[in-house]
Amino acid sequence: MTESTSGLNRVLRAAAARVPEPRAAHRFLNRLTHPLRMDDYSSLIYPLWSSRELRGEVVTVRREAEDTVTLVIKPGWGATPHYQPGQYLGIGVLLDGRWTWRSYSLTSAPTTGRGEYSVTVKALPEGLLSNHIVGTVEPGTIVRLAAPAGDFHLPSPTPSKLMFVTAGSGITPVMGMLRSLDRRSVTEPFPDVVHVHSVREREDALFLEELRALEKTQPGYVLHLRVTSEEGRIDSRQMSDLVPDWSERPTWACGPNAMLDELDEHFDATGRDDLHVERFTVNRDAGASGGTVTFGSTGKTVELDGATTILEGGEQVGVQMPFGCRMGICQTCVVGLDEGHVRDLRNGTDHGPGERIQTCISVALGDVELKL
């Protein structure tokens, strides 16, 4: 670093320190560095000083299990603590020279200041980024962030009685809700919460110590841990025995599709509409034929089977399309369909020319051309 650059670094850091409010500091430093933008200097000095994109720094990597870690992320300028417990956070990690994005449920509770985000990531067999995060990411890593989003969260005011049904890593969004309810209990009553959580093996239970401690400090919270290798999967009859008043409890559920499908059927059969579901995966067996997908003006094509999404196909041939959650929730990946038909993996609905489709959950039904 040259002496002049070092001197500029000192000036910028000192100036930012005198103007603690980020937006005010940004305006002040823009005047100081005119005609260039402050970002041209500041992001070189400290990567979180950028107003062009939201960034974060991994400050803690906490191992929850052999294949699971929690990342505590300090956000940079532009971050907001005003998210809903249960929402997810988009994270971009530099992997093999490319920024690779995925969305993970926030396990932290919102704070009144700029605060920190935490997400808990489980390595999946087919998960390129999740395996990289669990095995490689260390404190000090700079990541890109997308604003928290998602409809899976508690309403305001919170129901006085409710139920959580989770399995495996499906506990992560509910963990954010529980931590938020615990924090709020300083000023408002903790609700009557029954939590049914299933794991394959007892050692797979994430956050178990914290959940047991919550049972002791919050009398309104009851945890039912189900170890499926010993007791089998819980069904609706067993759920009724375990939680006799579950028909009176609005329910938030997250876990494997089979569990969520069974809950859906039960709630539909009883005429209830207070089941809220978060799905991490979609059903790949949609009976689609696959086909050749053409990515509009890029001229690139790819042959896809009936289980590979159009978003994944684009990534295989280097077509960078927008996306966020990769679960069909956030609507970031919507593009126009020029020719052909696609099938929605979530519900089996087919879409044709002229419609707008979500590439992260759509597969080809024959040859397809996108409007890009």
Q: CA 84 to CA 91: how far, in whole Å?
A: 17
What crossing angle do the helices spanning 22-33 and 3-18 adopt, rounded to 10°?
Answer: 140
Q: Residue 102 is encoded by which pair of tokens?
A: 């995925």
Q: Residue 274 is encoded by which pair of tokens?
A: 């207070």
* 290 touches 265 (CB < 8 A): no
From first to last of its 372 residues, the chain has per-residue pLDDT tens of 455 555 555 555 555 444 445 556 556 655 665 555 555 555 555 566 555 678 899 999 999 999 999 999 998 877 776 789 999 998 989 888 878 888 899 999 987 556 789 999 999 887 888 999 999 999 999 999 888 888 899 998 999 999 999 999 999 999 999 999 999 999 999 999 999 999 999 999 999 999 999 999 999 999 999 999 999 999 888 998 999 998 889 999 999 888 998 999 988 888 888 999 998 776 677 778 899 999 998 999 999 998 889 998 998 898 988 876 777 777 788 999 999 999 998 778 899 999 999 998 899 999 999 998
* 82 touches 110 (CB < 8 A): yes
Report how far apart, in Å, the C-alpha atoms of 131 and of each of 90, 191, 225, 324 are: 16, 37, 27, 19
Q: Residue 38 is encoded by which pair of tokens?
A: 């402050």
